[in-house]
Amino acid sequence: MSDKVLTANHLLSGEVVFLAEGELWTPRISEALIAENDEEERWLEQAGARAVGAQIIVEPYLIDVTRHGGATRPVRFREKIRTLGPTVRPDLGKQAELEDIHASAA
């Protein structure tokens, strides 16, 4: 069973976000809370449902991640792209807007 984080889109901006400490939502996967078992996954999903109800985020879902040397990385290629931005426009998306995003999430 792999580690998971909860991701969603920010309702107002559409930006990709991850559930972090204090039920806050962060654009950085490096700050995402990681679920290591079923119970923790359920908690993440419940927190996601709360955020949906509070009109903060939409369409939350769990994604598989791996952890290497402190960096959290999505397993699926699709989620990697979603974490960073379009591969054909490195000047757009988080890869351009957030410092250290590559080191922590690439």
Residues that bind another protein (CB under 8 A): 9, 11-16, 52-55, 58-59, 75-78, 81-82, 85-89, 92-93
Distance from chain centroid for Cα 10: 11
> Minimum distance from CB of 39 to another protein (Å)?
26
> Minimum distance from CB of 16 to another protein (Å)?
6
Per the rule left: phi > 0, alpha: psi between -120 and 50, beta: everything else, 54 is alpha
Q: In a 10 Å sphere around its CB, with 0-12 CB exposed, 13-18 middle and 19+ buried, how is residue 87 labelled?
A: exposed
By beta-carbon proximity to another protein, the closer residue of 16 and 35 is 16
> Minimum distance from CB of 89 to another protein (Å)?
8
Q: Which residues pair with 68 in a beta bridge?
A: 71
* 63, 7 Cβ separation under 8 angstroms: yes
By beta-carbon proximity to another protein, the closer residue of 9 and 40 is 9
By beta-carbon proximity to another protein, the closer residue of 36 and 59 is 59
